[in-house]
């Protein structure tokens, strides 16, 4: 009798332990994949929807949850900020990542967001710059996952752009990889490891860019079916190296073995990145156990293409039709590997403005302006009788030469007031204001809040410039981003997979909401400076 009771107790205890173990495994996805599409405007989800297949973007919208009114809540809509904000849940004013690069008034030098002279590049050419995440001063959701699992979780960041791979991966990542345009290698730095893994070296020896160049780049469908885009031959579009015109077909074979950078400005860059991401999952055994892992993938090519041709080009439409197929293949790979036990989210770091000449053709507001040499700067020098009053003008910020002003005992406030008054007269600017008096900036409260969240006490300039809608920097072709306007700030926010409901919301959500939402999904702490909120509608 005692033996039977003891045996029954062992069986019950075994079942309870198994149930606990199963619950533990099922309580979190095995792998979270963050997909950042560099320069993807929200409307691209729907503009080309009638030409998408069923297994890429459409699948995400059908099976997953989409936030249709997701916005960037700060002013400087650029790559480094977007990549850091999605994973930190905070804004440039707190993260330390103020822009792609910024002027530091304390040192008088320009700082690149991921520069780190204390490390060395692994696998790079002689021109490759050493990089790490050290300029980011807060944690990411990637870091918090590592901490919560006592560093058993694997975290890897991948992107053609160094900042696109490094910043999302965080400080404690196992690795971050980016692309060296000089030699066609995927590289890293000694911040993460002593040498590149064998699988990365094997991948690099394939020289995949050369095989992709052999495919050239023509439209996937007959060119006259691209009715969602403007005409192909536009003088205001940028050209590929050596090309006579910015038109299809784009001949790439001449770049084989010579120009490894050009692949980034074609859809082949997406192919290259996702193929490397698959290899990382397989070689690093990501998602192979009950400890959740995180893979941060940024697709940099849409940004290069968008800058060169603009958001209304056939090149952009063809890029997204091809990317749709690439994502479908990638999702099938994840299905086969993990079944239903993975989660994907997709977003963008920013949008993009129309090419100003396109806007002019269609009677839309916009234009090009010079980012330096404002007439107001010269007028200030004349008024105060001294040259070099403005020491730097970048990122819509004007930095005054404080040492010079102090040494000559010039009234700083008088200089700022004069410049603000004159800058407001510039035809390409909506307004300008003194950053020290930001609370009284002549802007609606909703817009002013974006500049408050983008303000950094160490890196912001003396005067903030606010361009008119549709106005971008100087140049003769292509376009850019970086403003608070909706064409730059309205981004996709889509979740799919384990723990995600199916549906949509039209309420305002924000880029800062990604990190706390993923943290809630993984049952881990939010990043240290996160100010976002969990999008509760998304989670089961």
Residue 273 and residue 178: Cα distance in Å, rounded?
Answer: 9
Mean pLDDT of 278-305: 98
SS3 assignment, position 197: coil
Cα–Cα nearest to 263, from 282, 240, 296: 240
Residue 491 and residue 500: Cα distance in Å, rounded?
Answer: 19
Q: Would the CA dihedral through 324, 326, 328, 330 be positive or negative?
A: negative
Mean pLDDT of 309-337: 98
The CA distances from residue 335 to 58, 291, 344, in Å, are: 16, 18, 11
Residue 449 and residue 468: Cα distance in Å, rounded?
Answer: 18
pLDDT, residue 475, reads 87
Mean pLDDT of 203-227: 98
Pairing of strands 109-112, 390-394: unpaired
Cα–Cα nearest to 47, from 236, 304, 267, 319: 319
Q: Is 129 exposed, middle or buried (0-12, 13-18, 19+ CB in 10 A)?
A: middle
Model confidence pLDDT, tens digit, residues 489-535: 999 999 999 999 999 999 999 999 999 999 999 999 999 999 999 99
The CA distances from residue 324 to 52, 65, 209, 223, 331, in Å, are: 6, 17, 20, 18, 11
Q: What are phi and psi of 346, to 5 degrees?
A: -130, 135
Residue 515 and residue 333: Cα distance in Å, rounded?
Answer: 25
Q: What percent of the chain has pLDDT over 70?
A: 94
Residues recognised as catalytic: 79
Q: Is 477 exposed, middle or buried (0-12, 13-18, 19+ CB in 10 A)?
A: middle
Mean pLDDT of the chain: 94
Residue 235 and residue 363: Cα distance in Å, rounded?
Answer: 18
pLDDT, residue 285, reads 98
Query: For the packed helices 268-283 and 314-338, what is the interaxial angle rounded to 10 degrees?
Result: 10
Model confidence pLDDT, tens digit, residues 112-149: 999 999 999 999 999 999 999 999 999 999 999 999 99
DSSP 303: H
Sorting pLDDT into bands at 50, 70 and 90, what band is 372?
low
SS3 assignment, position 122: strand
Q: What is the 3-state secondary structure (H, E, C) of 351-384?
A: CCCCCHHHHHHCCCCCEECCCCCCHHHHHHHHHH
Mean pLDDT of 350-355: 98
Model confidence pLDDT, tens digit, residues 146-201: 999 999 999 999 999 999 999 999 999 999 999 999 999 999 999 999 999 999 99
Cα–Cα nearest to 298, from 478, 120, 174, 176: 176
- In Å, how far from its chain's centre is CA 103? 21
Which pTM value belongs to this model?
0.94
Residue 354 pLDDT > 70, yes or no?
yes
Tokens, residue 250:
């784009």
Do 101 and 51 touch, CB atoms closer than 8 A?
Answer: no
pLDDT, residue 20, reads 38
Ramachandran category for residue 170: left, alpha or beta (phi over 0 → left; psi -120 to 50 → alpha): left
DSSP 20: H
- Across 12-21, 62-71, 239-248, 387-396, least confident range: 12-21
Question: ∠ at Cα 361 (358, 365), nearest 5°?
Answer: 75
Mean pLDDT of 323-329: 98
Sorting pLDDT into bands at 50, 70 and 90, what band is 374?
confident
Cα–Cα nearest to 159, from 272, 327, 256, 240: 272
pLDDT, residue 373, reads 58
pLDDT, residue 226, reads 98
Residue 475 and residue 101: Cα distance in Å, rounded?
Answer: 20
Mean pLDDT of 40-45: 98
Q: 504 pairs with which residues across the strands?
A: 66
pLDDT, residue 15, reads 41
- Find tokens 């990043």 and name the residue: 527
- Find tokens 């609370």 and name the residue: 439
Q: 299 pairs with which residues across the strands?
A: 37
Model confidence pLDDT, tens digit, residues 392-446: 999 999 999 999 999 999 999 999 999 999 999 999 999 999 999 999 999 999 9
Mean pLDDT of 263-277: 98
- Across 20-29, 67-76, 291-300, least confident range: 20-29
Q: What are phi and psi of 288, to 5 degrees?
A: -85, -10
Q: Is 198 exposed, middle or buried (0-12, 13-18, 19+ CB in 10 A)?
A: exposed
Pairing of strands 65-71, 503-510: parallel
């Amino acid at each position: 009798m005692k033996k039977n009771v003891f045996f029954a107790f062992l069986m019950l205890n075994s079942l309870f332990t198994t149930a606990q173990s199963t619950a533990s495994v099922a309580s979190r996805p095995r792998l979270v994949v963050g997909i950042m599409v560099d320069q993807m405007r929200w409307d691209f989800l729907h503009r080309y929807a009638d030409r998408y297949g069923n297994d890429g973007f459409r699948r995400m919208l059908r099976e997953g949850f989409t936030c249709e009114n997701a916005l960037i809540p700060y002013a400087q809509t650029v790559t480094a900020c977007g990549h850091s904000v999605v994973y930190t849940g905070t804004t440039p004013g707190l993260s330390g990542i103020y822009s792609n690069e910024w002027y530091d008034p304390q040192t008088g030098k320009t700082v690149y967001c991921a520069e780190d002279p204390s490390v060395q590049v692994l696998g790079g050419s002689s021109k490759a710059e050493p990089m790490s995440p050290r300029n980011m001063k807060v944690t990411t959701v990637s870091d918090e996952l590592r901490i919560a699992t006592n560093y058993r979780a694997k975290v890897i960041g991948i992107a053609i752009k160094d900042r696109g791979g490094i910043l999302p991966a965080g400080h404690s990542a196992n690795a971050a990889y980016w692309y060296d345009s000089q030699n066609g290698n995927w590289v890293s730095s000694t911040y993460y490891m002593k040498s590149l893994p064998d699988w990365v070296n094997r991948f690099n020896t394939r020289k995949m860019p050369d095989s992709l160049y052999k495919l050239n780049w023509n439209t996937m469908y007959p060119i006259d079916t691209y009715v969602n885009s403007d005409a192909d031959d536009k003088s205001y579009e940028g050209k590929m190296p050596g090309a006579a015109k910015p038109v299809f077909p784009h001949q790439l074979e001449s770049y084989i073995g010579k120009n490894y950078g050009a692949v980034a400005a074609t859809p082949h860059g997406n192919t290259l990145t996702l193929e490397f991401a698959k290899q990382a999952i397989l070689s690093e055994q990501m998602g192979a156990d009950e400890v959740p892992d995180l893979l941060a993938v940024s697709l940099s090519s849409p940004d290069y293409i968008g800058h060169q041709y603009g958001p209304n080009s056939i090149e952009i439409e063809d890029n997204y039709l091809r990317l749709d197929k690439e994502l479908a293949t990638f999702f099938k790979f994840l299905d086969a590997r993990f079944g239903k036990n993975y989660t994907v989210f997709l977003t963008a770091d920013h949008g993009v403005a129309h090419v100003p000449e396109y806007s002019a053709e269609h009677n839309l507001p916009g234009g090009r302006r010079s980012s330096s040499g404002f007439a107001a700067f010269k007028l200030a020098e004349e008024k105060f009788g001294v040259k070099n009053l403005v020491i730097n003008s970048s990122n819509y910020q004007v930095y005054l030469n404080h040492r010079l002003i102090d040494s000559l005992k010039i009234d700083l406030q008088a200089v700022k007031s004069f410049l603000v008054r004159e800058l407001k007269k510039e035809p390409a600017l909506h307004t300008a204001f003194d950053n020290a008096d930001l609370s009284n900036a002549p802007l609606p409260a909703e817009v002013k809040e974006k500049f408050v969240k983008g303000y950094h006490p160490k890196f912001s300039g003396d005067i903030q410039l606010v361009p008119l809608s549709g106005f971008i920097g100087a140049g003769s072709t292509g376009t850019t981003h970086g403003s608070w306007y909706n064409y730059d700030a309205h981004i996709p926010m889509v979740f799919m997979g384990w723990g995600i409901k199916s549906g949509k919301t039209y309420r305002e959500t924000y880029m800062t909401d990604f990190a706390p939402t993923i943290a809630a999904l993984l049952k881990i702490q939010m990043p240290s400076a996160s100010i976002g909120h969990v999008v509760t509608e998304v989670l089961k």
